[in-house]
Structure 1
Amino acid sequence: MDVDADQFAESLSFLRDIIYEADFVSLDIQVTGLHSNSSQPQQISLFDLPSEWYMKTRQSASSVQFLNQYGFDYNKFLKNGIPYMNEEQEKKLRESILRGNWRVGSSLDKDQIKVVIDKVTRWLDLAEEGDRMTLPGIAGFQAYEVQMVLRQALPDIWTVLKDEGVVVKKVSQPHRWYLENDSCDQIRCWRQEILLSARGFSGFIEMLVRAQKPLIGHNMTMDLLHLHEKFFKPLPESYDEFKQNIHSLFPVVIDTKNVSKDIWKELHFPQASNLSEVYDVLSSDLNPTNNSGPEIIHGSKCEKYAENKYSHKAGNDAFLCGSILLKVAHLILEKLHGSGSVDEITFSQYLAVLDPYVNQVNII
């Protein structure tokens, strides 16, 4: 299912239930790159030690070109994207809000805010007390930003968020004072709403950490780097410290590329250079356990991925990754115990045969 900023808050409880009911969580992160203080990223080599690879990748350039190549919808992302922040950024924002000097930062730039203020100011010149105007197309974190700035700049207006956008109402000074002191809209409530809205997807990642479910990815080292930097803390200089941090967040990590490499060698499967090709081989008759493996279907609200291929779309790739995990685990289980020897297979049995691959990720 696709969830944008408008739907995120109402979908969070549904997503939480899914996480806690799941045996594992498969992820794929499509983002624009890691923060870099270096203008000259170093060339990665096949001969790099893991620590050397980490240091170079930590300074990697943006992957915007890759995302553009595969049709990443930047217009949709910029309009409907869910905000996020790591713990350090959240701390700074919280302190700024509490000091009362919070300013518009990431979601809307100053020029956009100036346009909104000018538009409302021109309307105010002709409006009478009680008149309303609507600023359409503003939702999520942007809606809180716009309302906060308008309330600070214009003492004779009040704002509310409706389905159609931010509604601005001209009010008297006494009415404004009453609204500001109403229990449902005190400034402390606003500050908390702003912080929660700004955290956005970070709240979902926090739920993922608390659930302590096995985390599955394919060639997932970059995914882990992004998880660390975008939602936890800036990447440390030490590779060992990075590994310790990830292990504290996600005690069980399985990289399906690492798992599938051994199977490919042993069964002489044809070369598969990407996630989709690995899935296709395991779903074909080349896989001796293809007909006896678990039935894998798409969940509700995810039917579009069953009808069409969406290569390099995060939702589709995460589904393929989870499917590969189950297919490879079933193959290993039957190799160890023989075909049909286990009547009712549980995920715990799959996890047991995958134990040699736990917390080992592919680097190149």
Structure 2
Amino acid sequence: RLVKMDVVKDNFEEALVKLAELLPSCSFVAIDEEMTGIQIDKTTHPCFGDSCETRYLKMKKVTEEYNLMQVGLCLFREVSPNKLEAFPFNFYVFPAKQVSGRIHMSFSTAHFHVDNNMDFNKWISRGVPYISHQQYEQRLQSFTPQPDAIISPKRSPKPVTRQDDKVFVESAVKKLEEWYNDANNTEEFEMPECNYFLYNALTNEIDKLSGVVRRNKDPEDRRKFVVLVKKVTEEEKESLKQSEIEEKKDRLKLHSGFLRVLHLLKEHKKPLVGHNLMYDLLFFFSHFQGSLPESLGEFKSQLGENFPEIWDTKHLSFQSKQFSDTILGQLYEKCCEKMPEVSVTIHEDFPNYEQSTQHHEAGYDAYMTGVVFAKLKSGQLAPEEYKNKCYLMRSLFVLNLSGADEMIEKGALVVLHGFAPSVKTGDLLSIFRIDGTDVQINIRWVDDFSAIAVTSCDTYEDAIALIDENRSTKCDFCSYDEWTDKEKELSSPAAAKMSTPLPQKEGEQGKRGTKRGRDSQEGVEEEKTEKKKKEETSAEG
């Protein structure tokens, strides 16, 4: 039977059974997601000045603001050496009805999804519901033997004041007492249907009686309430309470929706593969596991407990230096063209993605990601040292999920700051006297007022010795460590705290380029159009 690619609440149970059946034998799982946004304002824009901790906090803020739309999972199973089978799933996900909150979507993301044929109606009306593991545990803890009702007020209910309501309650209680006082009547007693307010009043009266238990006739109906009351012995009462608790647990598990997928993934702990996947990890954790930790270190610890092996194909391809373009679609095409050693076919029970152009559908992007990983691995481009390393756009660092983060740039760093917004790359390069030397300098822009000069010098002292005292570009400078320490101390944007210019004399123009790419805006726009607005190529140069 053909497995439907799009998984919605109508066919979720069937897909879950298939997923549970396939997971034990698969080699790895590729993941991709579609979100409702990944930028809030300038405070969340990535920049070269970010430490990994700062970048984490920026991304954490974004994941708490926006929602998930699709989760793509593609399982890959080794059939024989150099031959894999793929099993792609494209889950539409939408918060469960009982979860309070709001849906946020950025305008640019809405246009992006429209351009890529996102089915918004399917997402909202048919998306697989979910609660987080944190919410799941909180509800489990609430299942104590104390209340017999699904809803049991902890405080005394509000007094009934309307005459019609008084008559209703008095009549219902009178019939209840007649039933209770009739020793021969052992049948379950049904209270009249009512709203939530009157329900609280009636259950308050029922709870005054000894030797009875109560339950809701339809626990799923949150608008109409019918209470059933039964006479029991103390032993029967305790047994019924335990049975009800187990029923609640079973019902909660059934209604937890996509959370059950997370539980399966955590149980089997298969290698998890993504492309430029830091946002995928954060959204996945935030929406299905629970609130993100306040620190990057704690996030790494909690993530590692559940997913000990993670691979980022963006980082792998970037480190290989064999690809001029590491955006997912182009990378997939290049890998398929240049690395035929390993073949990947989609299992016959699943729709064929192999000739598809469904970019930016999470299931398809997960499939492409897994194929890229398989090809890179077969070409010896996925060494063990790159495991648990994540690419960060416009960053000096590689984020290490299982250890200390690593600086990408080799050589001494000089932070230049406090210059005019009209300053260009060439102006900053002209600050350094490098004619006649073999020193190489690259400029990494932080914002309009600050940048980082990455030099090939061995030490910071060697680098600043090259600074021209007669430079024409007015700016100040410091070491990277001094700059980040100041950032932590003041907890404010770098440009605002390090912008005191020093008057300088005229100097010669730099020999390198005179026009810089405006990283802050161009990078963000590129994020919005490539790999779910998460990629940009200029940061790789």
TM-score, normalised by the number of residues in structure 1: 0.65
| Percentage identity across paired residues of the two chains | 25
State how far apart, in whole Å, the 1-side matches of 2:282 and 2:290 are: 10
> Would the alpha carbon gap of residues 301 and 236 (structure 1) be closer, same or farther in structure 2, given more than 3 Å must change?
same
Match of 2:354 in 1: 306
1:88-113 alpha-carbon deviations (Å, 9 max, x no partner): 2112333456554559xxxxxxxxxx
| Equivalent residues in 2 for 1:1-364, closer than 5 Å | 1-32=5-36, 41-60=43-62, 61-62=65-66, 64-65=105-106, 66=109, 68-69=113-114, 70-96=116-142, 99=147, 100=149, 102=151, 148-150=219-221, 153=224, 155=226, 187-188=244-245, 190-263=247-320, 265=321, 267=322, 269-272=323-326, 274-284=327-337, 287=338, 290-291=339-340, 293-332=341-380, 354-364=383-393
Q: Is the 8 A contact 1:84 1:198 kept in 2?
A: yes
> Shift in Å at residue 155 of structure 1?
3.9
Q: Would you say the 8 A contact 2:218–2:225 is kept in 1?
A: no
Report the Cα distance in structure 2 between the residues aligned to 1:245 and 1:152, rounded to whole angstroms.
Answer: 39
Counterparts in 2 of 1:154 and 1:229: CA distance versus 1, 3 Å: closer
| Structure 1: distance between partners of 2:262 and 2:384 | 25
1:281 maps to amino acid: K
1:42 alignment partner AA:
T
Letter in 2 for 1:72: M
Letter in 1 for 2:324: P
Single out whichever of 209-218 and 227-236 deviates more from structure 2.
227-236
TM-score (norm 2): 0.45
Q: How far apart are residue 282 of structure 1 and its match?
A: 1.4
Range moving further from structure 2, 62-71 or 296-305: 62-71
Q: Distance in 1 between matches of 2:221 and 2:310?
A: 46
| Greater strand fraction, Structure 1 or Structure 2 | 2
Query: What runs of 5+ residues in structure 1 fail to find an aligned partner?
Result: 104-145, 157-172, 175-182, 334-352
Kindly provide the amino acid, as one letter, of the partner of residue 329 in structure 2: S
Using the TM superposition, give the Cα deviation of residue 331 of structure 1 relative to its aligned residue in structure 2, in angstroms.
1.6
In structure 2, the gaps of 5 or more residues are 68-104, 153-216, 230-239, 394-541
Tell me the distance in 1 between the aligned counterparts of 2:125 and 2:380: 45
Question: Partners of 2:41 and 2:302 in 1: how far apart?
Answer: 27
Compute the displacement of 1:14 (Å): 1.6
After superposition, the C-alpha distances for 1:303-351 in whole angstroms (9 at most, x for unaligned) are: 2423421101111001100100111111227xxxxxxxxxxxxxxxxxx
- Checking the alignment, whether the CA contact within 8 Å between 1:30 and 1:314 is kept in structure 2 is yes
Contact 2:143/2:245 (8 A) holds in 1? no
User: In structure 1, how many angstroms separate the alpha carbons of the residues matched to 2:220 and 2:261?
Assistant: 28
CA distance in 2, matches of 1:212, 1:75: 33
Over 3 Å counting, the alpha-carbon distance change for 1:33 and 1:236 in structure 2 is farther
How far apart, CA to CA, are the structure 2 residues paired with 1:302 and 1:320? 15
Q: Which has the higher contact order (CA 8 A, sep 6+)?
A: 1
2:311 alignment partner, SS class: strand
* Alpha-carbon distance, 1:194 to partner: 3.0
CA separation in 1, counterparts of 2:357 and 2:391?
A: 25
In structure 2, distance between residues paired with 1:76 and 1:255: 30
**Which residue of 2 is the match for residue 180 of structure 1?**
none
Letter in 1 for 2:121: N
Q: Which residue of 1 aligns with 2:166?
A: none
Q: CA RMSD in A?
A: 3.2
Aligned mates of 1:209, 1:8 — CA distance in 2:
19
Q: Is the 8 A contact 2:276 2:312 kept in 1?
A: yes
Contact 1:96 1:102 in 2 (8 A): no
Aligned to 2:183: none
Query: What's the offset of the Cα at 1:301?
Result: 4.0
Q: Is the 8 A contact 1:214 1:254 kept in 2?
A: yes
Give CA deviations for 1:173-221 in whole Å, capped at 9, x if unaligned: 99xxxxxxxx9xx755652343113311111111111111111000000
Within 2, Cα distance between the matches of 1:324 and 1:296? 10
**For residue 6 of structure 1, what is the amino acid of its counterpart?**
D
Q: Is the 8 A contact 2:150 2:219 kept in 1?
A: no
Give me the whole-angstrom Cα distance separating, in 1, the residues matched to 2:374 and 2:275. Answer: 13
Quote how far apart the aligned CAs of 1:248 are: 1.1
2: CA distance, partners of 1:71 / 1:17: 31
Q: Report the alpha carbon displacement of residue 40 of structure 1 after superposing the two structures with TM.
A: 8.1
Distance in 2 between residues matched to 1:295 and 1:19, nearest whole Å? 20
- For the 8 Å contact 1:86–1:230, the answer to whether it is kept is yes
After TM superposition, give the deviation of residue 13 of structure 1 in Å.
2.4
Count of residues paired in the alignment: 268
User: 3-state DSSP class of the match of 2:270?
Assistant: coil
Tell me the distance in 1 between the aligned counterparts of 2:274 and 2:355: 23
Secondary structure of 2:219 counterpart: helix
Cα distance, 1:151–1:200 mapped onto 2, change above 3 Å: closer
How much has 1:152 moved relative to structure 2?
Answer: 7.2
Displacement, 1:294?
1.2
Q: How far apart, CA to CA, are the structure 1 residues paired with 2:41 and 2:47?
A: 19
- Of Structure 1 and Structure 2, the greater helix share is in 1
- Kindly indicate whether the alpha-carbon contact (under 8 Å) linking 1:93 and 1:102 is maintained by their aligned counterparts in 2: no
Task: Say whether the 8 Å CA contact 1:83–1:197 is kept in structure 2.
Answer: no
Residues 1:40 and 1:194: Cα distance change in structure 2 (over 3 Å): farther
CA distance in 1, matches of 2:252, 2:42: 35
| Pair member with larger Rg | 2
